[in-house]
């Protein structure tokens, strides 16, 4: 219950920010930071708790984005109806990819490459078929209203994204304390040992992929509503997968607040980089790579593990200095 109280407090604090500032820069930062948090939390469900590293989470993001756009433009549905539909389709793609991969025992680097391959296949398909707008993409018509999920300012989008991030945090908290979460972490730590005590690794990993895909699809649907445009490169591009996995790894895998801390830290870093080196395209990806290497080398538990790793290292150093007599 403590985790859920903290999540409620977090939602309350972020939710009241628009009442204290009308700065467009600040509100836009909060919105995009929450968006990055959702992507990292979605990846963390499968990669952090399940130990199944994915290089192609843009597959689920793009599915959600296209379903959100197509449902409104071609099926005439309300965007509020299209959003859960987009999450459902993305979760369904997750079920398909998970079943195809885990049925044949793919894991580790093989699973990562399979997800990357699926994302590329979907990108090529989206470029070829007419209902996705092919290479041109799809552009939502501008109809500003809350009923059309096109808000006049960033405040409405902040509250919408805050609701999605809160949902992701609640799912993560559930994974930390539920029996299913224990099964998932057991499979992550030692799949053979988990199978020996009666856990079904296939079904456990499949459910995690479905949950992760659904949350990532929500991120894609949100992107469409904010920017009102999607094309195959944006939907299934590798940059989205990188943003999701780097935030989770930097913040701390398999933790509740780690992906949020990592996503916000990287978002601040990206803004600083953009302001300082805006004339150098792609420099933010270079810095992401450097930060990831540094974190893996010196903070394997990520930012969330900083408070526990440093005291342990200090204690170990103290024992070495006094010959282990203390």
Distance CA 230, CA 136 (A): 9
pTM score, whole prediction = 0.90
Confidence (pLDDT) at 218: 97
Confidence (pLDDT) at 38: 97
Q: Where are the alpha helices (DSSP H) in 74-200?
A: 79-102, 109-128, 154-177, 179-189, 191-196
Distance CA 81, CA 234 (A): 23
Distance CA 135, CA 40 (A): 28
Handedness of CA 242, 246, 248, 254 (dihedral sign): positive
Helix 201-227 to helix 58-73 angle (10° resolution) is 50
Tokens of 3: 């985790």
Confidence (pLDDT) at 291: 78
**What are the 10-residue block averages of pLDDT along the chain, 326 residues in total?**
92 95 91 95 96 95 97 95 97 96 90 95 94 92 91 94 97 95 94 93 96 97 96 93 91 92 88 74 74 79 70 47 48
Distance CA 124, CA 172 (A): 33
Confidence (pLDDT) at 279: 66
Q: What is the DSSP letter of 280?
A: S
Helix 154-177 to helix 179-189 angle (10° resolution) is 80
CB count, 10 Å around CB of 157?
A: 22
Confidence (pLDDT) at 298: 80
């Amino acid at each position: 219950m403590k985790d859920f109280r903290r999540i409620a407090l977090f939602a309350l604090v972020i939710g009241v920010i628009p009442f204290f500032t009308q700065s467009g820069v600040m509100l836009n930062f909060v919105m995009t930071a929450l968006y990055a948090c959702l992507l990292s939390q979605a990846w963390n469900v499968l990669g952090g708790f399940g130990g199944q590293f994915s290089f192609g989470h843009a597959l689920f993001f793009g599915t959600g984005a296209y379903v959100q756009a197509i449902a409104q433009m071609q099926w005439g549905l309300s965007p509020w109806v299209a959003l859960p539909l987009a999450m459902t389709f993305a979760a369904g793609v997750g079920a398909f990819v998970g079943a195809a991969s885990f049925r044949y025992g793919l894991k580790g680097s093989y699973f990562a490459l399979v997800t990357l391959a699926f994302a590329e296949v979907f990108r090529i398909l989206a470029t070829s078929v007419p209902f996705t707008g092919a290479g041109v993409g799809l552009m939502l018509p501008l109809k500003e209203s809350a009923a059309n999920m096109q808000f006049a300012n960033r405040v409405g989008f902040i509250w919408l994204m805050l609701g999605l991030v809160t949902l992701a945090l609640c799912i993560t908290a559930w994974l930390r304390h539920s029996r299913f979460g224990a099964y998932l972490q057991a499979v992550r730590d030692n799949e053979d040992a988990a199978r020996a005590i009666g856990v079904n690794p296939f079904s456990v990993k499949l459910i995690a992929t479905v949950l992760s895909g659904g949350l990532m699809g929500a991120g894609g649907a949100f992107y469409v509503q904010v920017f009102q445009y999607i094309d195959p490169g944006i939907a299934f591009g590798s940059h989205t997968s990188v943003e999701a996995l780097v935030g989770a790894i930097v913040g701390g895998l398999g933790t509740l607040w780690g992906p949020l801390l990592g996503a916000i830290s990287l978002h601040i870093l990206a803004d600083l980089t953009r302001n300082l080196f805006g004339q150098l395209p792609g420099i933010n990806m270079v810095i992401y790579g450097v930060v990831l290497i540094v974190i893996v080398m010196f903070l394997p538990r990520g930012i969330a593990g900083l408070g526990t790793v440093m005291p342990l290292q200090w204690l170990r150093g103290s024992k070495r200095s006094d010959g282990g007599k203390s």
